[in-house]
Structure 1
């Protein structure tokens, strides 16, 4: 069933004066209108490029918005990462991700507050914006994210898992982790009894992703956990991991 968004609500989203409350609102934002509202000094050609991209996927438009801001000399991450609009804060994520001069370690450090953002959408953009870097260097990313899996914030613990998902819905696949998911097992072990459902869902989804290429490995991990872990959290993770095997 489609979700109807009131005109006044959509106008507020497109003006950047408020944050979305669910995915349908995220997807309904007019990027060209929002870009014009929050960065009115952008050249008309930039707004036109965003208009022309209206039919493209949302991840492509997120990256384009960041590129347009950067090209216009308005790519200062700190300026955008505290904006009321979750979409604009997502553009800040892509400004970090699109910095071709920065190392992955520096990008992760810059992304830290956005990965811990109170808005669900911004937290997703945070790892998606770094996905190409992670695909290019999954073992380096894994080494850097091991400490994130032990952070007090469940948002950051989830980030460590989501960023390394072998597949993912909107994300480029990580070939190495599809074929050799065992690389990530030490990180998954840290999260195997996580008390937060938000993190449990991510770990279960990670294993379910891996099961599409390496089902026997996922079954073996779950069998071992069943005999060595008796938490309610781990039982939930195992059920989610095995749901399509």
Structure 2
């Protein structure tokens, strides 16, 4: 997950602030605050109707990694409220609660990839950095299961006015995405993702530039010659500062080794 602004240590979060986070009254301002939220306490306040057994399950899982706890919370809510709760959660103040909705969409059965991406779209465009990260992580297994279809669908997102949606198209298909499984098919054949990468080669938003650069930096670990060739072509075709920034980021690991 991208950290947003630099954070403090969990122990440095003031008790009053932590209480607000656990009550779902405020959004987390940093990754540290995201990680500090007590899921059982938040569920008790935000969704008391899920029941004491759900709270107990969340409390028992307190020592698990955050991704597992996000998935567990989503499953518990879905079992008791169904997928219809997603719309309610989407408007909650807490970014963690909105993240639970992302994982409910990710875990929902009998949903096509097209429908799943349409459902996750509002979360991919959320104003909060954490929700945007949860959005692609939640649907990542489905992208991994059918990367060709995902690329075909997400290629259209590269033309969206929102830089958040354009960035989602790149970040969700990263070969070696952080906190998620690698995409083996794209590691072997990164050129399959050109329908997403080509339209973003001179994207004006640094947020998107960083994602595309990271995407190609990942690809360079398996296909360095391909990445060098692509960046060389882009640099000739487009002399914009945006393209130069993307290529510099794309080649950084190879240049350090070289």
Secondary structure at the counterpart of residue 239 of structure 2: coil
Q: How does 1:65-214 map to 2 (within 5 A)?
A: 65-73=73-81, 75=83, 76-214=85-223
Structure 1 residues 47-74: Cα deviation after superposition (integer angstroms, max 9, x where no partner): 1111121121111111110100011125
TM-score when normalising by structure 2: 0.92
**Is 1:235 equivalent to 2:249 in the alignment?**
no
Separation of aligned partners in 2, 1:183 and 1:199: 19
- Report how many residues are paired: 245
Distance in 1, matches of 2:49 and 2:231, equals: 55
Question: What residue is the counterpart of 1:58 in the other structure?
Answer: 66
CA-based RMSD: 1.1
2:31 corresponds to 1:37: no
**TM-score, normalised on structure 1?**
0.97
Q: Select the structure that is richer in helix.
A: 2
Q: Any idea what the Cα deviations from partners look like across 1:157-211, whole Å, max 9, x if unmatched?
A: 0000001000111111111011100001231110000000000000000001111
Partner SS state of residue 72, structure 1: helix
Instruction: Write the distance in 2 (CA, Å) between the matches of 1:117 and 1:17.
Output: 17
Moved runs in structure 1, 4+ residues, more than 3 A? none
Distance of 1:221 and 1:186 partners within structure 2: 13
Q: Which segments of 5 or more consecutive residues in structure 2 lack a partner in the other structure?
A: 1-6
